[in-house]
Each structure stands twice: as structure tokens, then as C-alpha cells.
Amino acid sequence: MKSLRTFFFVISILSLHGLCYGEAENGIAPMVKTEQEALYSAIQGFVGNWWNGSDLYPDPCGWTPIQGVSCDLFDGFWYVTDLNIGPLHDNSLRCRQKVEFRPEMFELNHLKSLSFFNCFTSLHHPVTIPTYSWEKLASSLQSLEFRSNPRLNGKIPTIFSLLKKLQSLVLMENGLTGQIPPSIGNLANLKRLVLSGNRFTGQIPYSFGNLTELLILDLSRNSLSGYLPSTIGGLISLLKLDLSSNLMVGSIPREIANLKNLTLLDLRNNSFSGGLKIPLEKMDSLEELALSSNPIGGDLGKIEWRDMHKLVFLDLSNMDLTGEVPESMAEGMKQLRYLDLSNNNLSGNLSPKLETMPCVSALFVSGNNLTGELKFSDKFYEKLGRRFAAWKNPNLCFPMNYRKQVEFRLG
Ligand SMILES: *[C@@H]1O[C@H](CO)[C@@H](O)[C@H](O)[C@H]1NC(C)=O
Ligand SMILES: *[C@@H]1O[C@H](CO)[C@@H](O)[C@H](O)[C@H]1NC(C)=O
Ligand SMILES: *[C@@H]1O[C@H](CO)[C@@H](O)[C@H](O)[C@H]1NC(C)=O
Ligand SMILES: *[C@@H]1O[C@H](CO)[C@@H](O)[C@H](O)[C@H]1NC(C)=O
Ligand SMILES: *[C@@H]1O[C@H](CO)[C@@H](O)[C@H](O)[C@H]1NC(C)=O
Ligand SMILES: *[C@@H]1O[C@H](CO)[C@@H](O)[C@H](O)[C@H]1NC(C)=O
């Protein structure tokens, strides 16, 4: 409301004084002409020269809005605050084959949010992120996103470290390569850093430990290698940490247990080793824990599973774990729905107590060295159906009630 009132106030002032700013002389919109032309040119670079902004959208912040563009008033003039390129809606701005970043884009120095979705896709025209001019957006840009751009190649420009206001940096599902610049760790206001699904290599920078405001760190599905730095324990606000499907080695640093608010820890499909030595039970806000497909090793019974009250999803398959499946799992984990312990080297009996976990709806223990006889009730096998599996335990006996359940399912 307030901005609308200011808008009409400015219009009347301008007509009184006969000033000429953009289209303002017609009483249409007080938008600085250079801002308007920068917007038209920036968009043209992405969608093609056929797109004639001044023809199609003479008043882009007023009565002819452009899908994907938002504006706000500053000192009585419209400026562009959001620019979203890519097919999010039917009438969104769609990229042409030969996309180019025009320097005019960097003249839009009130931009808070800039995003590119499914824009850089042409096999014949791979594009790299410009390495210049980002400093012009440093005092405004809070969110920068490149998502699902398979032909966006090259490295993350180190100049991104000048974007001090950034709260969200999402570079997801692109073709980016090279090492992650350590200077990204200087972006002290970052709350979300998502670099998943690219081809990044090298180590996770030590400097990331300085991102104390970070809530989400997702570096999954890259080729990151080396150790996980112990500075990871500095990310005290973190809620979600996903490093799955990389090439990381060494032991998981104990400092990770400092992440008291973490709800998701996903380290699946790496080459972590060194045993289950982290005091997982201290991370009692964990809801999802996935460490599968790592040669971590160690005794499953050494963790105080009793204390992990909030755990809903636990995947510890394919980890070279030894020891027995502890009954304490059944005692504490009242929220647990999914438990995968398959393809380890677990031995001993499987306690029928596990069926007393009130929420459990999937239990996988195939590919171990369990012995004795399965002693769950008919009701349990019925409830889980195919979401119970205990195959490939050569010394495990399957009692009649289980076989009947399987025959019933197959027959
Ligand atoms: C857009 O169209 C106007 C006339 O409608 C023309 O004067 C102008 O040169 C065109 N601009 C571009 C960038 O093609
Ligand atoms: C973290 O920030 C401090 C200053 O706030 C700086 O001295 C230190 O070098 C930074 N650490 C890393 C690993 O970048
Ligand atoms: C952890 O979460 C609690 C409760 O949501 C919150 O009060 C606290 O500030 C958080 N800690 C950090 C370091 O963000
Ligand atoms: C495991 O990670 C590698 C790369 O690190 C990837 O190529 C592979 O597809 C991943 N496997 C699964 C099952 O996600
Ligand atoms: C499984 O564990 C036993 C000891 O419990 C050990 O003797 C055996 O070598 C292990 N097997 C494999 C395949 O790791
Ligand atoms: C399985 O356990 C039995 C003893 O219960 C042991 O003799 C055998 O070596 C174990 N097999 C493997 C593959 O670890």
C-alpha cells in the first residue's frame, strides 16, 4: 500500500516539474531509463534478439509486468529486484540456443535475487559464468541460483566471494568443474549452500568452517576427494549436511558431533573408513542418518542407539559393520521407520524386540552372518511385507510363519 501511495505521489511531483525519467513524462511509470534499458538488454541476451522489450513490455514494473521479473520502489523509482530466467511457468522467459550474458545485467544494481533454470542446455553452445562485474551486485544480491543447466561449464568464479550479502548460493545440476574456491567460506551470511550434481573435484575447503550461519550444506553427487576437514564442526547452525556420492576418504571427524541441531547427515557412497568412532548419540536432533556404502567398519553395538530418540531413517548398509544387532535399538528409537543393516558382517541372533519399535515399516538385514531363527510375529511380517528382507544369511533359519507370509505374497 505504502509503495503504491509513494508511486502516485512521485507521479504527481514529476508531472508538476515536467521531469523526464524514462516513460514518466507520460505518467506511466517512474523507472530510470538506464535501468529499463539494462533490463531489456539483459533479457534479450538470454532469450534472443526477437524479444523487443520496449515493444512488448513498455512498463515492466507497472502495467505490463514480465513473468519472472519483480521490482520495488527506491526513492520513488522502480528498480528490478528479482530476475528469473527459465521455464518455470507457461509464459516464463525461455533461453535461446546461443545464450549470452550481457554486461547490462550487472547494471541492475538493486537485484536481490537472480536465478537461471534450465537455460544453458545447448550442446553446441557451452557457457561459463562471467568472471567479471559481480562486484556491482555486491551490495544487493542475496540469492543466486543456477539450476539444471547441463551446458553451464567451467569453474565457480572466485569473484563470487565479493557477494557479501549472499544468503543463498545454489549451483545445482550443472556441468561445473574444478575446485570449490576457499573464498566461498568468506560469505559469512550464507544460510544455504547447494553445489550438488556437478563435477567438482578436490577437497572441501577448510574455510567452510567459518560459515556459522549456514543451515543447509549440500555438496552431494560430485567428485570431491580427500578428508572431511574437522572445521566442519564450526557450522553450529547446520540443519542438513549432505556429502553423499563423492570420493571422500579418511575417518569422519569427531567434531561433527558439535552439530547439535543437525537433522540430516548423509555421507552415503564415499570411501570413509576408520570405524564408527563419532559419538553419534550426542547428535540427538538427528532424524535421518545415512552412512551406507562406505568401508567404515566397526562394531554396531558400540553406539548408544538408545539415545537417538528422533531418528526416523537409518541406513547403515554396506559398511563392513561387525557385532550383533543391539536390542538398545528397539529401546530408544521410537520414531524409527526405516532401518537398513544389509550387506555387513553382523552376527548373532536378531532380537524379536525390534518389532516393538512402534513406527518401523522397513527392516533390511540381508547379506550378513546372522544365526538362530527369526522370531517375529505373523503380524510383523504381514505389516512389513516386502519391506522386510533377511536373505543371504547362510546360517539363519526362516520359520514357518515367515515362509507362509512369503508364499502368500508370491502365490
Ligand atoms: C523495438 O521496436 C521498436 C519499434 O517498435 C524499435 O524502434 C526498436 O529499435 C526495437 N528495439 C530492438 C532492440 O529491436
Ligand atoms: C575464519 O575467520 C577468521 C576471522 O573471522 C579468520 O581469521 C580465519 O582465517 C578464517 N578461517 C578460515 C579457515 O578461513
Ligand atoms: C539450535 O536450535 C535451537 C532450537 O531450535 C535454537 O534455539 C538454537 O539457537 C540453535 N542453535 C544454533 C547454534 O543455531
Ligand atoms: C556413487 O558415487 C559415484 C561417484 O562418486 C557415482 O558415480 C555413483 O553413481 C554413485 N552410486 C550411487 C548408487 O549413487
Ligand atoms: C566377519 O567377522 C568375523 C568376526 O566376527 C571375521 O572373522 C570375518 O573375517 C569377517 N568376515 C568378513 C567377510 O569380513
Ligand atoms: C559366520 O559366523 C560363523 C560363526 O557363527 C563363522 O564360523 C563364520 O566364519 C562366519 N562367516 C563369515 C563369512 O564371516
What superfamily in CATH does domain 273-411 come from? Answer: Ribonuclease Inhibitor (3.80.10.10)
For residue 78, what pLDDT is reported?
Answer: 95
**To test the ligand 2 pocket, which listed residue (210, 211, 213, 232) has its Cβ within 8 A of the most ligand atoms?**
210
| Domain residue ranges of the chain, discontinuous segments joined by + | 273-411
**To test the ligand 5 pocket, which listed residue (369, 392, 395) has its Cβ within 8 A of the most ligand atoms?**
369
To which H or E segment does residue 6 belong? Answer: helix 2-17
For residue 2, what pLDDT is reported?
Answer: 41
For residue 321, what pLDDT is reported?
Answer: 97
Cell numbers standing for residue 249: 576418504
DSSP 49: T
Residues contacting residue 204 through CB under 8 Å, at least 6 positions apart:
180, 219, 224, 226, 228, 229, 232, 243, 248
Residues contacting residue 186 through CB under 8 Å, at least 6 positions apart:
161, 164, 207, 210
Pairing of strands 77-85, 69-74: antiparallel
For residue 18, what pLDDT is reported?
Answer: 37
Cell numbers standing for residue 206: 577448510
Q: Identify which of 147, 278, 118 has the alpha carbon closest to the alpha carbon of residue 218.
A: 147
Do the beta carbons of residue 315 and residue 365 sit within 8 Å?
A: no
Cell numbers standing for residue 352: 524379536
Residues contacting residue 147 through CB under 8 Å, at least 6 positions apart:
115, 116, 117, 118, 170, 171, 172, 173, 174
Does ligand 3 come within 6 angstroms of the Cβ of 236? yes
Helix residue ranges, H only, 48-168: 53-56
For residue 307, what pLDDT is reported?
Answer: 87
Pick the residue whose CA is nearest to atom 1 on ligand 6.
369
Report mean pLDDT in 10-residue bins for the chain, 411 residues: 41 40 51 95 95 93 93 93 91 88 96 96 92 96 97 96 97 98 97 98 97 98 97 96 98 95 98 91 93 96 89 97 93 94 97 94 97 94 94 92 79 64
Q: Identify which of 171, 95, 158, 110 has the alpha carbon closest to the alpha carbon of residue 130.
A: 158
Pick the residue whose CA is nearest to atom 3 on ligand 6.
369
Pairing of strands 143-149, 113-117: parallel
For residue 355, what pLDDT is reported?
Answer: 94
Q: Which residues line ligand 2 (CB under 6 A)?
A: 185, 206-207, 209-210
Atom index in ligand 4 nearest the CA of residue 246 equals 5
Do the beta carbons of residue 208 and residue 187 sit within 8 Å?
A: no
Cell numbers standing for residue 371: 544365526
